[in-house]
Chain A
Amino acid sequence: MDAQNVDYFLMANAKFLEDHQIFHIRERLLAMDESQWRMLQFMQFTDPVVVLIVSILTGPLAIDRFLIGDVGLGVIKLLTCGGLGIWVVVDWILIMGITRRKNTEKLMMAIY
C-alpha cells in the first residue's frame, strides 16, 4: 500500500491502538496488497474513552468488560460485585490500555 494511505489510516486510528506497536503496524500495512487494504477500511475499533466512561458509570455491572469482549471475566466481575469494588477501581486505571491492546490484537489478526 502507498505510504500516504497508510499514514492517513494510522492518523485516524492511532488513538485506538497501542503506541509501541504503531511502527510495526505501519511496516506491515505498507506490505499489504489492495484487497486486504479494502477489508481494513471497514474495521471497527472500540473507543478506549467510551469504555472508560462506561467503566466509571457502570463498573460493578461489568459492562466495560463485556464491551471489549472479555465475556468470561465480565461474568466473574458481575458476580463478585465488581471484585468487591476493588476490580472496579483497578479497571478505571487499566481499561483504556486493555481496550487498546484488544484493538491492536484485532488489527494484527486481520493483517497477518
Chain B
Amino acid sequence: MSLTRNRFNLFVSLSCLVGYGWLILIGRLKPEEVGSSYDVCLIRHFAHIPCPSCGSTRSVLALIHGDLAGGLYWNPLGLLIFSALLVVPFWMGYDLLLKKETLFRAFGFFEENLRRKWVAIPAIVLILLNWVWNIYKNV
C-alpha cells in the first residue's frame, strides 16, 4: 500500500467532511426527493441507468430518520456508509489523541484481505446483484 499514514488521515478527514457537508446540504429533503434534485452520478446522468451505489444518500437519510427498512430498500450499501460516517471520526480522533495508527492498519488489513479471491469474488457478485436490483428499482 503506497498510501502513507498522514495522507490516509488527510483523505479520510476530508472524505468525512465532504460526507457530512453533503448530508447537511441534502438533509432538508425527503429521501424520495433526493435523486431528482441532486444527481451527482455520472453513469445515471449519461447512461440513464443507476450505478451500484445510487441511492446511498437516500439510504443514509432514511437511516438517520430511524427507517432501517427504507435504508435497506434504497441501497444496502448505505448501511456501510452510515456505519463508516458514525465510527470513523471517533476512531480517527482516538488515533490522533493517542498517536496510534489503528485505523490506518485496519484499512491495510481490509485492503489486503479484499485482494484474496475468496473475499473478492463474493464481494463482486454482491455488488453486481445490488446493481441489478438498483436497475430494477430504477432508484
Q: Which residues of A contact B (CB under 8 A)?
A: 59-61, 70-73, 75-76, 78-86, 88, 101-102, 105
Contact = CB atoms under 8 A, between A and B. Distances in A.
Given A79-B80, A80-B56, A81-B40, A72 B2 contact: no
Nearest to B38: A84
Given A61-B51, A84-B22, A79 B40 contact: no
A91 to B, nearest CB: 12
Interface of B: 1-3, 15, 18-19, 22, 40-43, 51-54, 56, 77, 80-81, 107-108, 110-111, 114-115, 127
A87 to B, nearest CB: 9
26 contacts: A60-B43, A60-B51, A60-B53, A61-B43, A71-B114, A71-B115, A72-B1, A72-B108, A72-B110, A72-B111, A72-B114, A73-B3, A75-B114, A76-B15, A78-B53, A79-B53, A80-B15, A80-B81, A81-B41, A81-B51, A81-B56, A82-B42, A84-B18, A84-B22, A85-B40, A105-B2
Contacts of A79: 53, 56, 77, 80-81
A78 B81 CA distance: 11
Contacts of B107: 72
A101 B42 CA distance: 27
Nearest to B21: A84
Contacts of A81: 40-41, 51, 53-54, 56
Nearest to B53: A81
A63 to B, nearest CB: 11
B2 A102 contact: yes
B60 to A, nearest CB: 11
Contacts of A72: 1, 3, 107-108, 110-111, 114
